[in-house]
Amino acid sequence: MNKSKLVLAGLCLISVSFFSCKDDKEDPAPSSGPGTVTLDITNVAGAVNVDETGGTYYTNSSGESFNVSKLKYYISKVQFYNVDSMMYEMPESYFLVDESNQATTKLEIPDVPAGSYTSVRFTIGVDSTRNVSGAQTGALDPANDMFWGWSSGYIFYKIEGKSPASSQPDSSFMYHIGGFKNSNSTNANREVEIDFAGESLIVNGAREAEIHMLADVLKVFSTPNTISIAAFNTHMAPGGNAILIADNYAQMFSFEHLHND
């Protein structure tokens, strides 16, 4: 192979990859390998980013002003779909998103097979098996302060802050939501589907693929159930109001855009 042929081949390669960038419906070259997909989450309160220093106050749908000093939740069982077919599920996918540590808001999913995907699905929560199998490691390490000692099981979603609507002496509110049992209807695991709105995510070897999403705390107070801090400022157990909040966090995510280059 002489130099000019190499250049030509190089150009071809560039044009091919350029092409697949432009038109995401095209299947990637069969020779391409698996890649890493990043789920990039921005925690917001309506139109603004959540400020975990507590300096910013937001207003929920009950007209109550509140700030956020702690926001943590589990994402697990990440699956990639092409239309209705599940193409890939990341094994052992457990992530703890912690707004106070921005690195944790970008979930890296390695080894996603090359291909084109139209949606991603995941669970907010932790499956029942991991709730009953003793001391776990990594994201599920009980030292992450997302485990109930007195009633074994993970806290799936934790939000804390202050609000003048709270009757607590320090105006605090605390919602620690979890519960994995179907038997008494306290299961707070919620599946979420993020559809890429007609676009396709292309995974192709080393190419970067990112899914940008918003997670809106205002929806956790409003959609579909109205949560009022005046009505209850503290919930720290499975069942009861936890289910109302779980039904809301199931709706908190929205698709923003893809990065396919």
Partner 1 sequence: MKNTLGIVGLIVVLLSACSKSEDGGTKPFFYIPDGFPDPVYQFQNNPVTPEGFALGKKLFYDPILSRDSTIACGSCHQQFVAFAHSDHRLSHGINNLLGNRNSPALFNIAWFPNFMWDGGVNHLEVQPLAPIGNPVEMDETMANVIMKLKRSNSYPALFEAAFGSDTITTQATMRAMAQFMGSMISADSKYDKYKDGKVNFTNAELSGLQLFRAKCESCHKEPLLTDMSFRNNGLDANFNKDAGRAKITTLPQDSGLFRVPSLRNVVLTYPYMHDGRLEKLMDVMNHYHSGIQLSSTLDPLLSTGGIPLTAMEKNDLITFLGTLTDYTFIHDNRFKE
**Residues in touch with partner 1 (CB under 8 A):** 131-137, 141-145, 147, 149-153, 184, 186, 237-240
Nearer to partner 1, 89 or 141 (CB): 141
Nearer to partner 1, 24 or 98 (CB): 98
Give the 3-state secondary structure of residue 120. Answer: strand
Nearer to partner 1, 23 or 141 (CB): 141
Tell me the C-alpha distance between 9 and 134, whole Å.
Answer: 55
For residue 189, give Cα distances in angstroms to 45, 112, 121, 122, 143. 22, 24, 13, 10, 21
Q: Write down the H helix ranges in 143-236.
A: 217-220
Nearer to partner 1, 42 or 144 (CB): 144
| Tokens coding 169 | 């002496």
Shortest approach of partner 1 to residue 145 CB, angstroms? 6
Shortest approach of partner 1 to residue 247 CB, angstroms? 17
Nearer to partner 1, 155 or 217 (CB): 155
Tell me the C-alpha distance between 128 and 110, whole Å.
Answer: 24
Its sign, for the CA torsion 186, 189, 193, 194, is: positive
DSSP letter assigned to residue 3: H
Shortest approach of partner 1 to residue 223 CB, angstroms? 25
Shortest approach of partner 1 to residue 101 CB, angstroms? 13
Shortest approach of partner 1 to residue 122 CB, angstroms? 24
Give the 3-state secondary structure of residue 40. Answer: strand
